Amino acid sequence: MLNQINLSDIRSFVLIARLGNFTKAAEELDVSRSHVSRQVSSLEKQMGVTLFIRTTRTLRLTHAGQDLYARCEQALDNIDPVSYTHLTLPTIYSV
């Protein structure tokens, strides 16, 4: 099932982790908030893990989310460095 993961879902996940916010990531990608939420839900379902701990006030990466973020961040930067170089906001690495 992991071979069916969509690169767009990974890009959205990384951007959400970098920005710490679904809405800001959706705005950056020029899509709806519900779209990026569905992408993350799909990714979580395909991987069988929870990637974010979501509350009404906070968004944090789980351990699985931290692991995936670390693996994907560098790979995406190598694939398309222009898309992510302007983002200098801190990541959400607290659990």
pLDDT digits (tens, 9 = 90+) for 50-76: 999 998 888 999 999 999 999 888 787
Tell me the pTM.
0.77
Dihedral (Cα; 74, 76, 81, 86), 10-degree rounding: -80
Q: What is the pLDDT of residue 95?
A: 46
- CA distances from residue 84 to 22, 32, 55, 57, 89 in whole angstroms, order as listed: 16, 19, 26, 25, 11
Q: What is the pLDDT of residue 91?
A: 53
Q: What is the pLDDT of residue 93?
A: 54
- Which amino acid makes up residue 56? T
Q: CA-CA distance, 43 to 35, in Å (whole number)?
A: 12
Q: What is the pLDDT of residue 76?
A: 74
- The number of helices, as runs of H, and strands, as runs of E, in the chain is 5, 2
User: Above 50 in pLDDT, residue 84?
Assistant: yes
